[in-house]
Structure 1
Amino acid sequence: MAEHMEESPERLARPLVRLASMMGVATSYTGLSRDFHEISDETLIAILGALGIDATTPEAIEQTITAITREQNLRLVDPTVLHTVGKETHVTLRTGITEPAQITLILENGEPFEGELQLNPMPEAKVREIDGKFVAESDLVLPADLPVGYHTLHVESGDHTENATLISAPERIEMLDPMKDGSLWGWMAQLYSIRSADSWGVGDYSDLRTLLTDGKRYTDADFLLVNPLHAAEPVVPLTPSPYLPVSRRFVNFTYIRPEDIPEYNMLDGEAKAKIKAEHTSVEAFNADPQLIDRDAMWLEKKPALRTIFDAGLGQERQREFDEYKARCGEDLEAYATWCLCYELWGAPEDKPDNWIRTMTKESPEVIDLREKHADELEFYRWLEWTATQQLHLAQEAARTVGMKIGIMSDMAVGVHPLGSEVWWNPERFAKGATVGAPPDMFNQQGQNWSQPPLSPLALKNTGYLSYREMVRGMFDCAGAVRIDHILGLFRLWWIPEGHTAVDGTYVYYDHNVMLGILAIEASRVGGIVVGEDLGVVPDYVQKSLSDHGILGCAVEWFEQMDGVFTPPKHWRPYALASVNTHDLPPAAGYLEYEHVKIRERLGLLEEGSEAFEASARAEHNAMLQMLVDQGYLDASLLEDEAAHETEIIEALYRGLKGSPCKLLAASVVDAVGEKRAQNQPGTDNEYPNWRIPLADANGAAVMLEDLFQGDLLQRITKIMNS
């Protein structure tokens, strides 16, 4: 850690530091505790290497700086251009001084733009001589009335032609009418953890539909925030973490409810009996309060789904399926093919002789596999279509019963390094680096999430296509999207391969473009966006989110400064407020220091356990004091906290309700008295992350049929509706 708070002019002038800055790689950063760090040369060289840039020698650095500068000056137009609807946008073109530009703008619908495109020479334009050619800059003015969408800007100059993706986005995402002068509230839950009598041992899309409709009917909630529902593996073992998906473009087909597929009703008695027997074999898991067993579920559910698939589709349903396949195009082929390879060749592993390392989508073996197993390939396409349909029906049901938002989907930061997206399109990702978080007070060793970061260079050069399609897919089945670690749209903590999370640095992205894409897709469905902006978040990030109409997050246990909690009435309005998050124990567990016990048990504390426990007790007492001071809690109840834990939890929610935040989320685990954490950051199998079923304070499983009749849930509901 450096003693000063900025880099010296001498350091900034170094070629390696200049190159890193040119490529958006941070050469220093300030941590959560205002501690200043300068990034080592070793880290900078490794991160530049992950971007495909050789910085291993002084000569390579100088050559790269020269080549990048030359390429930028010779481009007719940048590959991605952002336009804000309602405002003029100025785009720099670079052409030969004797070769004026010819410009065509093709709109997203394929039609040419009929409006005026004004091209002006730059005032005192700089003329550069590059490779014997004189290049001048000119100013293309895009009019304010350009429609929303993804358009193509075609530029010709002499014998040189280039296309740019023109992203024309609304200036901001409009708040829903009830949020403009008030707020909406809803529940947040881990879908897999909430089972009904008809589940297959794991919560599914039909349970989600019931959660939504019953949530409105019994509590008047307007949304349900669920864990990420991104695509997973096709065979066991299934990865427990919903934040390490195979693909963010598609949804998890293991959540399908077989009996709710239309073709199930067409089956003969024998086929239905077979499916019933498979369901019966996992039915007992629905009431198991100990651990979610996804593998046992999928070993029975997948054959049941295959039975339904084999029965075939009617003419109209086949037409719908064909339209879905055409709409998804190569993205669906990527995921379905990866699933087929996984099933027939085994799990992808990071070994030199594994298929994931030896073959690509163009390998003859892969092409041959697709041809010889066309039926199995079609099965995986059908699974994805079926899953998407059931998720879409859940959202439709929510809106039908009057929910203002319905599903709030959660977007994971990235994807599995051996998943379909990385395998099919490796050029979209950085090589030799993973994403994580720097050390902070909650994770003193930092975090490595094992996910390869999207390359900001590839995003820009492809018009952000992969990001656009992912966001569009999520809004197809949701009224809102919560983006986990939205700071990642601005900068991501990259960790060089073979290093710890401490030895990373930030890499910057064009957040204006990515926020613009969110605005386009949200506006098309009347949706909203929430960004998880907890932790080290620069002021400009929060301002940018606010300017774009994107809500941040306020967590009651995090709203503190120097050991003093901020009264909820002073929280920022444009946020989704909650008592806790999925990375903390539920309210009852947190009040009983479950977060301390877990860390001590797993050896996650670099400081002494006594010091951490002392700080936790101080935090605990400060929270209760704030609740008392603000009139949310009777001070006399603190004489016996254990006996009045329920009243303290209610006080936490009265505080939440006392905030001006536009969205308020009540946790289902809090409402049933659960104490176990769903996830302990910084662990893998040391703790049963993402495998904790919903249970009450006594450890008994809570079934979906009984959920909304619970006493504490009803009391929290009354507070939220007050």
Structure 2
Amino acid sequence: MEQLHALAQAAGLQRDWIDVEGRHQQVSDEALAAALHALGHEASDERQIARSRVAIDDARRALPAMLVADCGTVIELPFAPARAEVTGEDGVTRALQLSGTRITAPDVPGYYDLVLDDNVTRLAAAPHNCPLPDQSRRRPWGVGVQIPALRGERPSPYGTFGELAEAARAFGAAGADALAINPVHALFPGHGRHHSPYSPSSRLFLNGALADPALAGLAPLPTEPGGPLIDWGDALPRRQAQLRAIFDALDPARRAAMVVADDEMLRRHALFDALDCHFRAATGAHGWRGWPSEFRDPESEDAARFAAQNADEIVFHLFVQNVARTGLEAAQSSAKGAGMQIGLIGDLAVGVDPSGSDAWSLRHAMLDGLMIGAPPDPLGPLGQNWGITGFSPQGLAASGYAPWIAMIRAGLAAGGGLRIDHAFGLARLWVIPEGAETQDGAYLTYPFEDLIRLATLEAHRAGAVMIAEDLGTAPYGFTEAVTDRRMLGMRVLWFERAADQGFIGAGDYEPLSAAMTGTHDTVTVAGWWRGRDLYWADYLARLPEGMTRDEADSVRDWDRGLLWSTLSHDPERPAPDNPEPVVDAAIAHIARAPSAIALVSLEDMLGLEEQPNLPGTIDTHPNWRRRCDAPIAELLATAHVERRCGILSDLRKT
């Protein structure tokens, strides 16, 4: 049906796509129509298709809510104005070079109010490059940590920003330049079931459960023992009660000083958290979709009445956000004070829980009725539905990208860098209509050039490093654009293999990259060498179809030879039950890479066998629950960790 296909293309839905094996795939007409309906483009018959196409064309001919361009470049307008002038953030107004329908963007990066005759809009002028780490003294190195896994001087059920500050001081003293942390986005308050940092309630605000009141000059949290695995179901409700007790003990003056409420979106998030706690306790509802209908609109009279009647509850959630923000800033101060060049590198999740705060507060800018995932591939023949949603392309354009800019700023607020998870989502996302099979989704195109320019502008304003997670098959033009912007790609040891399946040499890693021993989703070096990942694959029936455990072990033994021949000139290969020299050699390999930064996971620094998260599992693997055996300061004093810090510091010298 040509009209349907043309409408899908105009709406940014890709009918044809190439899978990871290079094969051409095509989305069915039924799947296209379902996705179009979810995007607000009716397509049941030719008349509806025609009306939807007219609406899309009209929107494209209109002056956008924000124009985005590189500094000093020409912008094509939908009409020819007689006058064009901009007012910058410094309050200075000046005329722009104008020629027919073309204007030239300012040379100075920033945000501007743009006047075109009687039309007013916004203009973002982006620099051409993101900042890079200083490599004049040495190429920096850092450690990837999962904050809840950390232990500090005081016993606790899981790590907070207090433990992060301790780790920053310890690793800074050991020579590290950065700590790459897991996402610290807001989760559902006091709820112990949905604890994955990659399924947040909001990417604009912080996970209050990571707050450490002592960093804000308040009474410390009580000391509590914590086992090798975090019991989130018990720990998070109890932590919420502890924070509430500290809040209740404050006198009115101190309480007022601890709460900053001049941010309307922050107040709305606090209202969401208060409503979520109220209805979860009353009915067991998970998020706004389970609330009574009169509360599903944040601007409804019932929501306003609830806020007025529960003002103290709103203030409590504002207090928690303030304490969390203060703690994260304190951790960054500890990192910089310990000599780290970069400090914290945050992590931006690709989406949010559709029942969470962002989906409630920013519904006008969010996908509605569409979930984000991945298409079928050899590792997932049925595809993946990640159970999250995100911004819609048309919602972002209509809002002048305001929520997206706010999200990037929130990710950069307290650190020296930001990793964008699944950065291919800047160009396209696999979207699945709710209730449909994952394979019945389609790729939805995003305004890549605008988003990458805005990310570059925000990195410039923050003086921060940007890392784009680019593992997998990149959309056309993605790699070149990211490289041109000086965003760092990720080069992970396990995926850097040559045509003969051998591992590439350290010198072949791209300079504009972050060289890594692994991620939270990959096996550790010690675990790979000992075959711990094969144990889990066999135990959970996740081995490739038709492969036995013995066959998997045989393949791994061959791969051990390939890896060792790349890592070391020693002809005597360590035995599978002796991973220590392999871990050292892998860290040295990453350290030798010409990459702009080298990142080693904490698990590899400690030589651990278990990985933090096993993708595709929920309850069958203890994801996001593992903890360190001892406080970080003690672990860094052990001989093998001191040796690995020394390897990194020595080999990263310029």
For normalisation by structure 2, the TM-score amounts to 0.93
Q: For 2:588, which of 645, 654, 665 is the aligned residue?
A: 654
Mapped to 2, the partners of 1:423 and 1:61 lie a distance apart of: 29
* Structure 1 pair 201–239 and aligned structure 2 pair: CA distance change class (3 A): same
Contact (CA 8 Å) 1:361, 1:424: kept in 2 or not? yes
Equivalent residue number for residue 74 of structure 2: 89
Contact (CA 8 Å) 1:172, 1:549: kept in 2 or not? yes
Q: For 1:119, which of 73, 78, 98 is the aligned residue?
A: 98
SS at match of 1:177: coil
User: Which amino acid in the other structure matches residue 645 of structure 2?
Assistant: T
The reply to whether residue 334 of structure 1 matches residue 268 of structure 2 is yes
Equivalent residue number for residue 64 of structure 2: 78
The reply to whether residue 203 of structure 1 matches residue 159 of structure 2 is yes
SS at match of 1:637: coil
Q: Deviations over 1:423-457 (max 9, x none)?
A: 12212111221111123344443221111131000
Mapped to 2, the partners of 1:500 and 1:613 lie a distance apart of: 34
Contact (CA 8 Å) 1:15, 1:61: kept in 2 or not? yes
The reply to whether residue 707 of structure 1 matches residue 635 of structure 2 is yes
SS at match of 1:81: strand
The reply to whether residue 213 of structure 1 matches residue 157 of structure 2 is no
- Alpha-carbon shift at residue 188 of structure 1 (Å): 0.7
* Structure 1 pair 620–512 and aligned structure 2 pair: CA distance change class (3 A): farther
Contact (CA 8 Å) 1:236, 1:299: kept in 2 or not? yes
The reply to whether residue 370 of structure 1 matches residue 307 of structure 2 is yes
Mapped to 1, the partners of 2:294 and 2:350 lie a distance apart of: 24
* Structure 1 pair 607–668 and aligned structure 2 pair: CA distance change class (3 A): same
* Structure 1 pair 197–112 and aligned structure 2 pair: CA distance change class (3 A): closer
Equivalent residue number for residue 590 of structure 1: 528
- Alpha-carbon shift at residue 295 of structure 1 (Å): 3.5
Equivalent residue number for residue 599 of structure 2: 665
Contact (CA 8 Å) 2:105, 2:125: kept in 1 or not? no
* CA-based RMSD: 2.5
SS at match of 1:564: coil
Q: For 1:67, which of 50, 55, 66 is the aligned residue?
A: 55
Contact (CA 8 Å) 2:468, 2:490: kept in 1 or not? yes
Contact (CA 8 Å) 1:600, 1:609: kept in 2 or not? no
Contact (CA 8 Å) 1:567, 1:626: kept in 2 or not? no
Q: Deviations over 1:105-145 (max 9, x none)?
A: 23235x2522x323333xxxxxxxxxxxxxxxx22x12442
Contact (CA 8 Å) 1:356, 1:418: kept in 2 or not? no
The reply to whether residue 42 of structure 1 matches residue 47 of structure 2 is no
Contact (CA 8 Å) 1:453, 1:494: kept in 2 or not? no
Q: Deviations over 1:592-616 (max 9, x none)?
A: 2232332333234561242x87467
Contact (CA 8 Å) 1:434, 1:448: kept in 2 or not? yes
Contact (CA 8 Å) 1:244, 1:415: kept in 2 or not? yes
Equivalent residue number for residue 570 of structure 2: 634
* Structure 1 pair 605–567 and aligned structure 2 pair: CA distance change class (3 A): same
Mapped to 2, the partners of 1:535 and 1:414 lie a distance apart of: 18
* Structure 1 pair 81–641 and aligned structure 2 pair: CA distance change class (3 A): same
SS at match of 1:636: coil
- Alpha-carbon shift at residue 248 of structure 1 (Å): 0.5
Equivalent residue number for residue 185 of structure 1: 141
Q: For 1:345, which of 273, 276, 279 is the aligned residue?
A: 279
Equivalent residue number for residue 125 of structure 1: none
Contact (CA 8 Å) 2:201, 2:353: kept in 1 or not? yes
Equivalent residue number for residue 319 of structure 2: 382
- Alpha-carbon shift at residue 317 of structure 1 (Å): 8.5
- Alpha-carbon shift at residue 634 of structure 1 (Å): 2.0
- Alpha-carbon shift at residue 260 of structure 1 (Å): 3.4
* Structure 1 pair 534–352 and aligned structure 2 pair: CA distance change class (3 A): closer
- Alpha-carbon shift at residue 350 of structure 1 (Å): 7.5
Mapped to 1, the partners of 2:569 and 2:151 lie a distance apart of: 34
The reply to whether residue 567 of structure 1 matches residue 509 of structure 2 is no
Mapped to 1, the partners of 2:419 and 2:55 lie a distance apart of: 39
Equivalent residue number for residue 609 of structure 2: 675
* Structure 1 pair 30–143 and aligned structure 2 pair: CA distance change class (3 A): closer
Equivalent residue number for residue 188 of structure 2: 233
Mapped to 1, the partners of 2:68 and 2:423 lie a distance apart of: 20
Mapped to 1, the partners of 2:44 and 2:87 lie a distance apart of: 43
Q: How does 1:483-498 map to 2 (within 5 A)?
A: 483-498=420-435
- Alpha-carbon shift at residue 201 of structure 1 (Å): 0.8
Mapped to 2, the partners of 1:306 and 1:621 lie a distance apart of: 56
Mapped to 1, the partners of 2:643 and 2:415 lie a distance apart of: 28
Mapped to 2, the partners of 1:56 and 1:183 lie a distance apart of: 57
Contact (CA 8 Å) 1:263, 1:311: kept in 2 or not? no
Contact (CA 8 Å) 1:657, 1:719: kept in 2 or not? yes
Equivalent residue number for residue 487 of structure 2: 550
Mapped to 2, the partners of 1:393 and 1:555 lie a distance apart of: 30
Aligned length: 646
* Structure 1 pair 620–418 and aligned structure 2 pair: CA distance change class (3 A): farther
Unmatched segments (≥5 aa) in structure 2: none
The reply to whether residue 250 of structure 1 matches residue 222 of structure 2 is no
Q: Deviations over 1:395-429 (max 9, x none)?
A: 01211221000001111001111101101221211
Contact (CA 8 Å) 1:596, 1:613: kept in 2 or not? no
Larger of the two Rg values belongs to structure = 1
Q: For 2:120, which of 124, 147, 163 is the aligned residue?
A: 163
- Alpha-carbon shift at residue 669 of structure 1 (Å): 0.8
- Alpha-carbon shift at residue 93 of structure 1 (Å): 3.3
Mapped to 2, the partners of 1:476 and 1:392 lie a distance apart of: 8
Equivalent residue number for residue 133 of structure 1: none
Mapped to 1, the partners of 2:608 and 2:511 lie a distance apart of: 29
Q: For 1:154, which of 115, 118, 125 is the aligned residue?
A: 115
The reply to whether residue 175 of structure 1 matches residue 132 of structure 2 is yes
Q: For 2:343, which of 384, 401, 406 is the aligned residue?
A: 406
User: Which amino acid in the other structure matches residue 681 of structure 1?
Assistant: P
Q: Deviations over 1:192-224 (max 9, x none)?
A: 01122414311010110111111011x200001
Say which is worse superposed, 433-442 or 350-359, in terms of deviation: 350-359
* Structure 1 pair 356–719 and aligned structure 2 pair: CA distance change class (3 A): farther
Q: Deviations over 1:635-672 (max 9, x none)?
A: 2134x332x32112222222212321111011111222
- Alpha-carbon shift at residue 675 of structure 1 (Å): 1.5
Q: Deviations over 1:496-546 (max 9, x none)?
A: 222333222211111222222222222223211001100111352111111
SS at match of 1:557: helix
- Alpha-carbon shift at residue 168 of structure 1 (Å): 1.2
Q: For 1:105, which of 86, 94, 110 is the aligned residue?
A: 86
Equivalent residue number for residue 644 of structure 2: 716
Unmatched segments (≥5 aa) in structure 1: 1-10, 122-137, 265-274, 695-700
- Alpha-carbon shift at residue 677 of structure 1 (Å): 2.3
- Alpha-carbon shift at residue 710 of structure 1 (Å): 2.4
User: Which amino acid in the other structure matches residue 94 of structure 1?
Assistant: F
Q: Give the share of equivalent positions with the same residue, in percent.
A: 27
Mapped to 2, the partners of 1:647 and 1:501 lie a distance apart of: 43
- Alpha-carbon shift at residue 80 of structure 1 (Å): 2.3
Mapped to 2, the partners of 1:616 and 1:537 lie a distance apart of: 31
Q: Deviations over 1:278-303 (max 9, x none)?
A: x24xx121xx11x2123433333333
Mapped to 1, the partners of 2:148 and 2:93 lie a distance apart of: 47
SS at match of 1:165: strand
SS at match of 1:186: strand
Mapped to 2, the partners of 1:17 and 1:46 lie a distance apart of: 13
- Alpha-carbon shift at residue 309 of structure 1 (Å): 2.1
Mapped to 2, the partners of 1:410 and 1:232 lie a distance apart of: 15
* Structure 1 pair 625–325 and aligned structure 2 pair: CA distance change class (3 A): same
- Alpha-carbon shift at residue 579 of structure 1 (Å): 1.4
User: Which amino acid in the other structure matches residue 529 of structure 1?
Assistant: M
Q: Deviations over 1:15-65 (max 9, x none)?
A: 222111112111111111112111111221122122111122232212222
